[in-house]
Amino acid sequence: MGVLIAPSILSADFANLGAEVRRAESGGADWIHVDVMDGHFVPNLTIGPPVVKAIRGVTELPLDCHLMITEPDRYLADFAKAGASHVTVHAEACIHLQRTLAQIKSLGMKAGVALNPATPEDHLAYVINDLDLVLVMTVNPGFGGQKFIAEVVPKIARIRKMLDDAGRNGAIIAVDGGIDATTAGIVHAAGAGVLIAGKSVYGEADVSKAIARLKESCSSKASA
């Protein structure tokens, strides 16, 4: 399967969110990435289930909700009701990670675990059969447009190996933070199946060209 591109609406024009989501969909986006921040887990505040519900009405694409919040369990049912297809929680924010993942799945959504740049992959070992997705952060979460942390790249390859060794070939790795035409090929070669991109998609006038450029930089890297 080729690489999937998930534009992050954090870098979109919030005053025109419906049009921004449709712009990504018609430009070739595979998923829409929704960054949910609570001002506690990360030093920023963004959006929640009502906005997910509004977006659900304007696109057919999977809505990939990245919860950068403490106590995510309190809101899982609300995200399910709003139409989220994937919910990713941070390992650092979950005291009972396995329970949280089971709850996400019982609500009919795909369950993801996000790891901050400094968090080792060991956190995945005892939930490897409970997750559908691993979200590897290549910036410290909280803001769009930050610099890619290259030291994280070997962790992507280690997680891919962990998943494959456990027979979880269908579990996908998404990479989030500082993804552009330069870094996309690097993380894809390391094992990323989904690329999340804010600034490098919505910062461009032509979203469809921006998405095509990200996909292209993965195929040229793979054939190099």
φ and ψ at residue 5, rounded to 5 degrees: -110, 130
Report the alpha-carbon distance of residue 119 to residue 90 in Å, rounded.
10
Which one of 30, 64, 132, 176 is the catalytic residue?
176
Q: To the nearest whole angstrom, how small is the minimum distance from the Cβ of residue 143 to ligand DX5? A: 6
Strand order in 133-137's β-sheet? 4-7, 194-197, 172-176, 133-137, 110-115, 86-90, 63-68, 32-37
Q: Which residue is nearest to Zn ion (CB)?
A: 66
Binding residues for ligand DX5 (CB under 6 A): 8, 10-11, 33, 35, 66, 139, 141-146, 176-179, 196-200
Q: Is residue 66 involved in binding Zn ion (CB under 5 A)?
A: yes
179 is in the binding site of which of Zn ion, ligand DX5, none (Cβ under 5 to 8 A by kind)? ligand DX5
Q: To the nearest whole angstrom, how small is the minimum distance from the Cβ of residue 33 to Zn ion? A: 6
Whether 35 sits among the annotated catalytic residues: the reply is yes
- Dihedral class, residue 149 (left if φ above 0, else alpha if ψ from -120 to 50, else beta): beta
Q: Is residue 35 involved in binding Zn ion (CB under 5 A)?
A: yes
Whether 176 sits among the annotated catalytic residues: the reply is yes
Structure tokens at 93: 């924010």
- Of 172, 176, 188, 218, which one interacts with Zn ion (CB under 5 A)? 176
φ and ψ at residue 146, rounded to 5 degrees: -90, 170
| 8-state DSSP, 96 | T
Nearer CB in complex with ligand DX5: 92/168 = 92
Q: To the nearest whole angstrom, how small is the minimum distance from the Cβ of residue 194 to ligand DX5? A: 11
Structure tokens at 76: 């899982």
Active site residues: 35, 176
Binding positions for Zn ion, rule: CB under 5 A: 35, 66, 176
